[in-house]
Copies of this chain bind each other. A is one copy, B any other.
Amino acid sequence: MSETGTAQHTYRVELGPRSYDIHIEPGCLGRLGEAMAGLFSSPSRCMVISNVTVAPLYMDSVRTSLELAGWQVSECILADGERYKTMESFGLIMDALMEAKLSRNEPVIALGGGVVGDMTGFAAACYRRGIPFIQVPTTVLAQVDSSVGGKTAINHPHGKNMIGAFYQPKLVWIDPTVLNTLELREIRAGIAEAVKYGLIRDAALFAWMRENMHAALNLDADVLGKMILSSCRHKAEVVMADETEQGQRALLNLGHTFGHAIESMTHYSTYLHGEAVAIGTLMAARLSEQLGHAPAGTEDAIRTCYRQVGLPVDVPAFSAQQWLDAMGHDKKNVGSRIRYILLHGIGNAFLAEDVSPDAICSLIDSYLAE
């Protein structure tokens, strides 16, 4: 992808009747209306769902593009942050859709990061039992991960993403230039998700990310374009092989069992999702070493990379019991083992079903003793 803004990539996610394109192109935000012409027989009503941070920056551009293409545009602007990914916000979107009287064939457009995308997708899945939706991701995390693959959800007070649906978008429309307005902390958290694909299934990508980290953090167009494309390809390949997470898609949850527990124990207010997952990935790496699955030094190599990204790397101090509770371990029920994604090494993740609560206690103790 060149710095002139003309380089573009389109990647097709093949899922039979639910197939769709991921389009990556600097400056494409203002051409969303044109892109939608190929998806709908004629423009009618649509709703753009965004948040109070993103809407002032990009709503005008999106709205103008849509209106020029003949669409009648409604808006629904939500509060910003993971702690608003709730049943209440879901209810607000439903109220707005009812108010706008969108019919079954009229689309919603998610303009924002992972939270906006997840909530919009779930609302699209449920409103009138399903209407079309389009992802226009505006954060690194959403561009490299959450906008692709159709996992939609809201949080329950006792667990992240517990209420949701597998529901694919009709189009993912990625303009990397919108990342220029992101805070550096958001960029760091998003890059962590790109690093994740390297850890799970592509050691060469991990090495390339380490070499190009400085450029990525500075939003160099070439490096950013390659990072987004590689990430979307990895995500799409996994989703095409296992859309509803019966098997290998679970590998993408590397760091998420611990990461979700961190977010839950800190009430979604201390860490960004990508930060919590990064810390969770370090924990999964150490657990892999402790159980003899990964060579010594695996956790250290990842920690060195995360320090380079500028991510938090310290595990928050909670008791082993707090961790077990937050991750849903139920000691009374032997059948309730939690699934962990562990590593055989960099680039090689696997699903472990047989991790005992005792192993988790030892892991937590090793951090508490540091």
A166 beta carbon closer than 8 Å to chain B: yes
Please give the number of chain A residues whose Cβ is less than 8 angstroms from any Cβ of chain B in the complex. Answer: 33
B166 to A153, Cβ gap below 8 A? Answer: no
Least distance between A355 CB and chain B CB atoms (Å): 15
Least distance between A131 CB and chain B CB atoms (Å): 11
**From B45, B98, B130, contact of A166 by CB (8 A):** B130
A336 beta carbon closer than 8 Å to chain B: yes
B162 to A128, Cβ gap below 8 A? Answer: yes
B127 to A163, Cβ gap below 8 A? Answer: yes
Quickly give the copy total for this chain: 2
User: A245 to chain B: which residues have CB within 8 Å?
Assistant: 129
A103 beta carbon closer than 8 Å to chain B: yes
User: A244 to chain B: which residues have CB within 8 Å?
Assistant: 129-130
A94 beta carbon closer than 8 Å to chain B: yes
A94 to B155, CA, bound (A): 11
A245 to B44, CA, bound (A): 21
A310 beta carbon closer than 8 Å to chain B: no
User: A336 to chain B: which residues have CB within 8 Å?
Assistant: 101, 103
A299 to B166, CA, bound (A): 44
A129 to B101, Cβ gap below 8 A? Answer: no
A335 beta carbon closer than 8 Å to chain B: yes
User: A151 to chain B: which residues have CB within 8 Å?
Assistant: 129
Binary interface profile of A, 10-35, with partner B (CB < 8 Å = 1, else 0)?
A: 00000000000000000000000000
A44 to B101, CA, bound (A): 43
Specify the chain B residue showing the minimal Cβ separation from A123: B163
A126 to B122, CA, bound (A): 9
Known: A128-B162, A128-B164. 13 other contacts (CB 8 A): A94-B156, A98-B159, A101-B333, A101-B336, A126-B126, A126-B163, A126-B164, A126-B165, A129-B151, A129-B245, A130-B166, A130-B244, A165-B165
Can you list 6 A-B pairs with a CB-CB distance of less than 8 A? A44-B335, A101-B330, A125-B165, A126-B164, A129-B166, A129-B245
